[in-house]
Amino acid sequence: MSVTPAKPVLVSDAAVQRPSREQALEAVRTLIAWAGDNPDRPGLIDTPKRVVDAYGEWFDGYEADAAKELSRTFEDVTGYDDMVILREIEVESHCEHHLAPFLGKAYVAYVPTDKVVGISKIARVVEIYAKRLQTQETLTKQITEALQDSLNPQGIAILIDAEHQCMTTRGVHHKHVSTITTSFTGVFETNLALQERFIRLSQSR
Any idea which residues carry the catalytic annotation? 95-98, 136, 164, 166
Q: Are 56 and 62 a contacting pair, CB within 8 Å? A: no
- Rounded CA-CA distance 142/122 in Å is 12
Count the Cβ atoms, other than its own, within 10 Å of residue 29: 18
Rg, C-alpha atoms of the chain: 20
Nearest-10 Cα torsion for 55, 56, 58, 59: 100
Q: Are 60 and 131 a contacting pair, CB within 8 Å? A: yes
